[in-house]
Chains A and B, each alone.
Chain A
Amino acid sequence: MLVSKNRATNSLLKSEKKSLFRFLTLYVAMVLFSITLLSLFYYQSQEKLMLSDQRAMLTKYAYIQTKRLKVLHHFFDERIDYPRDSRFKSAIYDMENIKIFSLLDDENIRFHKEIYITNTHIHLVKTLDEFYLGTKYLIIEVEDSGAWRGEIWKNIIGYGSIAFLFFMLFGLYLAKLFLKPMRDSLLLLDRFIKDTTHELNTPLSAILANIEMMDTDVMVEKNKTKLNRINIAAKTVSVLYKDLTYLTLEQEKTNHDEVIDIRELVYDRAEYFSILAQSKHLECKLDLEESTITIDRRKFTRVIDNLISNAIKYNKRHGTVGIELKQGMLVIWDTGIGLNEESIPFVFDRYIRFNNAEGGFGVGLSIVKKIVDEYHMSIEVESKEGEGTRMVLRW
């Protein structure tokens, strides 16, 4: 029987989210790093391209200036006016990098480079073969308008954003592929549960109805005990059945919200589970104040049933189960095996079970969380391993 993906399957588990988050963080970091690296290479290549364009012009200026220096050298010191040109500025340095004369705006000179950009200028360093006026380095300076930089940034931001978007979409596709095996196994389990629960209803109803109808007054004590055991087992299966039915069939149904007397409902459900509690010799402490809530009865019953049945299931023999009801708050606590700190964040995940000693599929608390979220209520888990668990429901 084919089952379409339901809401429960579509929502991500915490562990799935964690894996997805880790993968995406790593992926985004790698994409950003690659784009930054590519942008850097692009910037450098464009800068080189611009400088090679400028080099031809600056070399021509350097040639002109060298000729002028040559003339000045031969007429020194009758002539002492340094040659000037409106197209560029220049400076001359000797081989010990000592300034002979300079008209530069930016005196930050890198003698080991041929051409480079300072903050607002471009410098060409020309090494002379003949040291006119003692000049080893002739520096030619022109202003850098920075227009080429704006064009490069525009390209980097534009193409970078497109590339980032493309890689993000690709990343999401990868993430889906990455999570597919996990999802498939969940879907398979869902399908199996849905198929099997359907077949459980009739025999389970028959067992429970017949237990109720049996006349225990005429029974011998030995048979009464046996019947009790059958009753407990049937009720345990019944809770499980209801959870599975809810999960696979009923949660899609429309809500029929009504005002519910919580005290009455909690008392009823406690009564229903009393036979399970007795089997473990548990003490039940009820402290129920008057309280109401507007909610779908079927859903709220699932919440209470699961919290009470867990408190009984994971309790120690001769332990205690407590239910406290106050205005806006329901607390169900036990003195059971408890949970370790690392397990608490995953307690509401579907198919997650921390104790295999007791039966179940690990769906109960995920149902509770779904209903609690749907009605904008909150649930807190306080637990200590070996001491017990406290589930606090607030609305």
Chain B
Amino acid sequence: MKPILVAVLLISGLSTHLSSADAYERHCVECHKELPTSLQRMFMRYLLVYGGEENVKAGLKHYLKYPIKEISVMSDLFTDNYGIKKKTTLSDRQIDEALERYWERFKVLDKLK
């Protein structure tokens, strides 16, 4: 009985991980490929404006849901050229998962030497 339970838990854990990875890869990386500014640089802009993890995530989430030029962290030159993104169609859960992945991928913490 026990090995089966462990297997089920492993599979469900792996699938959750894969799905959050998917959310980020499919909905974020795909679109940003075409932009001249990397996700890394955009992350640093968010970090510069919002500071801590919670703030960055909250700021990003708000912008994804209600994208307007006034609250964009990007320069005017950037927004004039590439415009403002469309309002997200992702659910809150999907946004949170994608943001979690984004944060983990580019955070400064533990990277400095």
Contact with A along B19-62 (1 / 0, CB 8 A): 00000000000000000000010001001111111111000000
Q: Which of B4-12, B94-102, B105-113 participates in binding chain A? A: B105-113
The reply on A267 being an interface residue by CB < 8 A is: no
Residue among A76, A95, A136 facing the most chain B CB atoms (10 A cut-off): A76
Query: How big is the B interface, by class?
Result: 10 to 19
Contact of B112 with A134 in the complex, beta carbons under 8 Å: no
In the bound assembly, the distance between CA atoms of A80 and B112 in angstroms comes to 5
Q: A283 interface residue, CB < 8 Å from B?
A: no
| A82 to B109 alpha-carbon distance, docked (Å) | 12
A85 at the B interface (CB under 8 A): no
A73 within 8 A of B: yes
Given contacts A80-B111, A100-B112, contact A132 B53 (CB under 8 A): no
Contact flag A134-B108 (CB < 8 Å), given A94-B53, A95-B52: yes
Q: Is A290 an interface residue (CB 8 A)?
A: no
Inter-subunit contact A73/B44 (CB<8 Å): yes
Chain B residues positioned under 8 Å from A74 (CB to CB): 44
Name the residue among A80, A94, A96, A136 with the largest chain B CB count within 10 angstroms: A94
Docked-complex contact A133 and B47, CB < 8 angstroms = yes
Number of residues in A with C-beta < 8 Å to the partner? 20
Residues of chain B with a CB closer than 8 A to A116's CB: none
Within 8 A of B (CB), among A56-109: 73-74, 76-77, 80-82, 94-96, 98, 100-101
Q: Are A81 and B113 in contact (CB under 8 A)?
A: yes
> Which B residues are CB-close (under 8 A) to A252?
none
Q: Does A314 contact B (CB under 8 A)?
A: no
Residues of A within 8 A of B112 (CB): 80-82, 100-101, 133
Given A80-B112, A81-B113, A82-B113: A73 in contact with B54 (beta carbons within 8 A): no
Query: Does any Cβ of B come within 8 Å of A130's Cβ?
Result: yes
Complex Cα gap A76–B54 (Å): 21
Question: Contact between B48 and A131 (Cβ–Cβ < 8 Å)?
Answer: yes
State whether A95 and B111 are in contact (beta carbons under 8 Å apart), knowing that A73-B44, A76-B44 are contacts in the complex.
Answer: no
In the complex, which of the residues A98, A101, A132 contacts B52, with contact meaning CB atoms closer than 8 Å? A98
A233 to chain B, nearest CB (A): 104
Closest chain A residue, CB of each to CB of B47: A134
**B47 contacts across to A, CB distance below 8 A:** 73, 131, 133-134
Residues of chain A contacted by B55 (CB below 8 angstroms) = 95
Q: Are A134 and B51 in contact (CB under 8 A)?
A: yes
In the complex, A76→B44 CA distance in Å?
A: 8
Q: Which residue of A lies closest to B56 (CB)?
A: A134
Q: Judging by beta carbons under 8 Å apart, are A132 and B111 in contact?
A: no
Please, how many angstroms separate the alpha-carbon atoms of A98 and B47 in the complex? 14
Cα distance A131–B112 in the bound complex, in angstroms: 16
The answer to whether B54 and A96 have CB atoms under 8 Å apart is: yes
A132 CB contacts on chain B under 8 angstroms: 48
- A74 to B51, alpha carbons, bound, how many Å? 15
Which B residues are in CB contact (< 8 Å) with A95? Answer: 51-52, 55
Residue of B nearest to A70 (CB): B48
The complex places the Cα of A135 from the Cα of B55 at a distance, in Å, of 12
Residues of B within 8 A of A73 (CB): 44, 47-48
Q: List A contacts of B56 (CB < 8 A).
A: 134
Please name 9 pairs of A and B residues whose Cβ atoms are closer than 8 Å in the assembled complex, sorted by A.
A73-B44, A73-B47, A80-B112, A98-B52, A98-B53, A133-B47, A134-B51, A134-B53, A134-B108
Query: Which 7 A-B pairs have CB atoms at the shortest separation, nearest pair first?
Result: A131-B51, A94-B52, A95-B51, A96-B52, A101-B112, A95-B52, A134-B47
Beyond contacts A76-B40, A134-B56: 6 other A-B pairs, Cβ-Cβ < 8 A, are A73-B44, A76-B44, A76-B111, A82-B112, A100-B109, A134-B51
Where the two chains meet, the residues of A that have a C-beta atom closer than 8 Å to any C-beta of B are: 73-74, 76-77, 80-82, 94-96, 98, 100-101, 130-136
Chain B interface (Cβ < 8 Å from any Cβ of A): 40, 44, 47-56, 106, 108-109, 111-113
